[in-house]
């Protein structure tokens, strides 16, 4: 099957969150399954620099008249065949320093509707033979940035512009909270017929919603965990779109994200001072070494017996960080340490900085983005904190599982689907992998932290649970097979 993956980010070229990890891994998993998968990306500087051998494919007009070029090249992969990539060469739109979505003062760019409409538009042009040598049978768009692709395909199909070929569209919601909402005056720029600006289309309380473009017009909708697929159909978690999602529930399903073994394997991870693998304890010396080296590097007290809680996260409301702040005194009083890596909202950055300044031997806070340090934290950690308010899937708890840094999570979204609570009374089932709490309150979070300390004191039990966690399967083969089923359904 010829499958075009459309996303704004792709690891290792450009990443602000989990979307990039998935966009980088899924095409490789599809290729490994024998599928003909290619990706389409906006030409941000990091992407132009990371796609090799870029050659022109064609020029095309944006709906608002500007002319841009589409280029084609390859992204090198570690050990796998290179990934074929189309890139939209539009320096006027994409060649800006820093974050792909916001300016230096963290304001969304005023022309974001054009910058991301062009992504969906180019995908639909590819389905209409923009590259005479390759047309997708399925266009798979990720998140609001790519969400107009299914809308453009729908109206091209209606207008008979797909030349008889059936092209299926799939839209994946990685996070319903980010919807790509724009003022109504942006609509004429998008090149969609007036019929698209109505309640059963892009119109959302008088505004233009890119997210609705994906949700209304895609042949199939997926989200990144089965629990989140259910949650977003409720008013509490539907971000105003639960009615539409219930209406489309027949074509909506959840496919749990997986972990890219080439990037995230403690045995072979080049960022770690020493690898480790068999969870039974015999070959775990590397983990102890990772911990002591990291404690030293971060200025934490070099205590092997202090449970090290780690957190690698965007610092936003979604991630439940005020629970971590609220529970920090208790965590420290019980002899734990906290090492955080993250960036985001200024007040959270400042609050964590202050806590580190007050107790530098027990709290380390690194503000910024640092891929190698993220790996080292999972390698060194005992517990990975993910107490999210909501979480479509979440990847850091899965990295924590693989690296034997037991996840402590709230029972929500993909966290509920990936972590099994270790009730201290019954560890015999062999399924427990971490600590799960329910209510979004400091008291509940605190109790889960206390349970983590209690298990940590029982070293054989801790090793047993860590063993379950590290062995939990999270391979892309299973997820890719589920996506292929969805593509077949989209092709009808
Ligand atoms: P989200 O996509 O909501 O941010 P995920 O858990 O799905 O949450 O994915 C986050 C990804 O970003 C993970 O790969 C995590 O390791 C990475 N990450 C988050 N913050 C940082 C940071 N400050 N430095 C390095 N990696 C980070
Ligand atoms: C989003 C979600 C996160 C998910 C990631 C990858 O950013 O917030 O939960 O893991 O996408 O699908």
Residue 283 has φ and ψ, to the nearest 5°, of -120, 35
Nearest ligand 2 atom to the CA of 413 is: 9
Distance 414 CA to ligand 2 centre (A): 9
Whether the per-residue pLDDT at 424 is higher than 70: the answer is no
DSSP 229-269: HHHTTSTTTSTT-HHHHHHTGGGEEE------TTTS-TTT-
Burial classification of residue 21, based on how many CB atoms lie within 10 Å of its CB (0-12 exposed, 13-18 middle, 19 or more buried): buried
Looking at all shown ligands, the one closest to residue 407's CA atom is 1
DSSP-assigned letter for residue 62: -
Query: What is the mean pLDDT of the segment spanning 430-439?
Result: 94
In tens, the pLDDT along 355-387 reads 999 999 999 999 999 999 999 999 999 999 999
State pTM to two decimals.
0.97
In tens, the pLDDT along 285-335 reads 999 999 999 999 999 999 999 999 999 999 999 999 999 999 999 999 999
Burial classification of residue 293, based on how many CB atoms lie within 10 Å of its CB (0-12 exposed, 13-18 middle, 19 or more buried): middle
Helices (H) and strands (E) in the chain, counts: 18, 18
What pLDDT is stored for residue 281 in this prediction? 57
For the chain, percent of residues with pLDDT exceeding 90: 92
DSSP-assigned letter for residue 81: P
Q: Which two tokens stand for residue 253?
A: 């399903």
Tell me if 196 sits within 8 A of 186, measured CB to CB: no
Whether the per-residue pLDDT at 425 is higher than 90: the answer is no
Query: What is the mean pLDDT of the segment spanning 51-74?
Result: 98
Query: What is the mean pLDDT of the segment spanning 466-481?
Result: 94
Helix (H, G, I), strand (E, B) or coil at 313: strand
| Best of 10, 12, 17 for a ligand 1 pocket test (most atoms within 8 Å of beta carbon) | 17
DSSP-assigned letter for residue 107: P
- Which residues' Cβ are closer than 6 Å to ligand 1? 17-19, 21, 312-314, 341-343, 369-371, 374, 393-396
- Which residues' Cβ are closer than 6 Å to ligand 2? 17-19, 22, 174-175, 224, 257, 391-395, 414
Q: Looking at 356-419, which runs of residues are DSSP E strands?
A: 363-367, 383-386, 406-410
Give first-to-last CA distance, the chain, whole Å: 13
Distance 104 CA to ligand 1 centre (A): 20
Distance 386 CA to ligand 2 centre (A): 12
Closest by alpha carbon to 29, among 475, 489, 395, 487? 475
Name, in order, each residue with C-beta under 8 angstroms of 246's C-beta and a sequence gap of 6 or more. Answer: 233
d(CA 363, CA 310): 10
Distance 376 CA to ligand 2 centre (A): 21
Nearest ligand 1 atom to the CA of 341 is: 23
Distance 67 CA to ligand 2 centre (A): 33
Nearest ligand 2 atom to the CA of 21 is: 6
Name, in order, each residue with C-beta under 8 angstroms of 67's C-beta and a sequence gap of 6 or more. Answer: 59, 60, 61
How confident is residue 284, by pLDDT bands cut at 50, 70 and 90? confident
In tens, the pLDDT along 153-199 reads 999 999 988 876 789 999 999 999 999 999 999 999 999 999 999 99
Q: Is the Cα torsion angle 44, 45, 50, 54 positive or negative in sign? A: positive
Looking at all shown ligands, the one closest to residue 174's CA atom is 2
What pLDDT is stored for residue 426 in this prediction? 67
Distance 225 CA to ligand 2 centre (A): 10
Give me the CATH code for the 281-471 domain, please: 3.40.50.2000
What pLDDT is stored for residue 62 in this prediction? 98
Tell me if 456 sits within 8 A of 462, measured CB to CB: yes
Reduced to 3 DSSP states, what percent helix, strand and coil does the chain have, rounded to the nearest 5?
Answer: 40, 20, 40
| Best of 17, 24, 100, 142 for a ligand 2 pocket test (most atoms within 8 Å of beta carbon) | 17
d(CA 26, CA 404): 24
What pLDDT is stored for residue 162 in this prediction? 85
Half-sphere exposure of residue 452: CA atoms within 13 angstroms, side-chain side: 33
Name, in order, each residue with C-beta under 8 angstroms of 436's C-beta and a sequence gap of 6 or more. Answer: 408, 409, 410, 411, 415, 416, 419, 420, 421, 448
Half-sphere exposure of residue 429: CA atoms within 13 angstroms, side-chain side: 10
Distance 48 CA to ligand 2 centre (A): 24
In tens, the pLDDT along 442-471 reads 999 999 999 999 999 999 999 999 999 999
What pLDDT is stored for residue 428 in this prediction? 67
Query: What is the mean pLDDT of the segment spanning 417-433?
Result: 82
Dihedral angle over CA of 318, 321, 326, 332, nearest 10: 150
Q: Which two tokens stand for residue 234?
A: 């409720």
Mean pLDDT of the chain: 96
Q: Which fold has domain 2-258+476-490?
A: Rossmann fold (3.40.50)
| Best of 100, 142, 224, 258 for a ligand 2 pocket test (most atoms within 8 Å of beta carbon) | 224
What pLDDT is stored for residue 104 in this prediction? 87
Residue of minimum CA distance from atom 1 in ligand 2: 174
Helix (H, G, I), strand (E, B) or coil at 170: strand
Whether the per-residue pLDDT at 42 is higher than 60: the answer is yes
For the chain, residues classed under CATH 3.40.50.2000 are 2-258+476-490, 281-471
Whether the per-residue pLDDT at 429 is higher than 80: the answer is no
């Amino acid at each position: 099957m010829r499958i075009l993956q459309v996303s704004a980010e792709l690891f290792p070229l450009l990443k602000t969150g989990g979307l990039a990890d998935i966009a980088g891994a899924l095409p490789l998993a599809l290729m490994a399954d024998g599928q003909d998968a290619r990706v389409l990306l906006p030409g941000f500087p990091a992407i132009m620099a990371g796609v090799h051998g870029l050659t022109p494919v064609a020029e095309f007009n944006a709906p608002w008249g500007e002319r841009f070029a589409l280029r084609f090249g390859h992204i090198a992969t570690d050990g796998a065949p290179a990934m074929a990539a189309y890139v939209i060469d539009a320096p006027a739109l994409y060649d800006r320093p820093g974050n792909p979505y916001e300016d230096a003062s963290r304001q969304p760019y005023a022309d974001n509707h054009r910058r991301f409409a062009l992504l969906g538009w180019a995908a639909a042009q590819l389905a209409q033979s923009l590259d005479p040598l390759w047309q997708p049978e399925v266009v798979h768009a990720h998140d609001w940035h790519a969400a107009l692709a299914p809308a453009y395909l729908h109206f091209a199909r209606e207008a008979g512009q797909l030349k008889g070929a059936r092209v299926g569209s799939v839209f994946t919601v990685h996070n319903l909270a980010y919807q790509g909402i724009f003022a109504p005056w942006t609509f004429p720029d998008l090149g969609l017929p007036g019929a698209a600006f109505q309640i059963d289309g892009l119109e959302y309380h008088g505004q233009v919603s890119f997210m609705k473009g994906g949700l209304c017009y895609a042949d199939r909708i997926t989200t990144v965990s089965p629990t989140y697929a259910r949650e977003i159909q409720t008013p509490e978690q539907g971000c105003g779109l639960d009615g539409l999602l219930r209406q489309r529930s027949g074509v909506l399903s959840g496919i749990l994200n997986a972990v890219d073994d080439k990037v995230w394997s403690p045995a072979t991870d080049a960022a770690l001072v020493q690898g480790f693998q068999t969870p039974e304890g015999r070959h775990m010396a590397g983990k102890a070494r990772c911990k002591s080296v990291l404690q030293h590097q971060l200025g934490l007290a070099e205590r092997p017996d202090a449970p090290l809680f780690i957190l690698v996260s965007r610092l936003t409301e979604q991630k439940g960080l005020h629970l971590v702040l609220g529970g920090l005194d208790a965590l420290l009083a019980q002899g734990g340490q906290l090492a955080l890596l993250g960036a985001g909202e200024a007040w959270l950055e400042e609050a964590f900085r202050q806590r580190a300044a007050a107790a530098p031997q027990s709290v380390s806070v690194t503000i910024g983005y640092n891929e190698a340090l993220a790996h080292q934290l999972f390698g060194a950690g005992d517990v990975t904190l993910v107490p999210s308010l909501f979480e479509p899937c979440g990847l850091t708890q899965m990295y924590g599982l693989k690296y034997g840094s037991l996840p402590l999570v709230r029972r929500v979204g993909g966290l509920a689907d990936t972590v099994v609570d270790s009730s201290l009374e019954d560890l015999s089932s062999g399924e427990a992998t971490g600590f799960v709490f329910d209510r979004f309150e400091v008291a509940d979070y605190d109790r889960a932290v206390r349970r983590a300390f209690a298990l940590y004191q029982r070293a054989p039990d801790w090793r047993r649970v860590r063993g379950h966690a590290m062995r939990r399967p999270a391979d892309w083969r299973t997820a890719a097979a589920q996506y292929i089923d969805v593509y077949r359904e989209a092709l009808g």
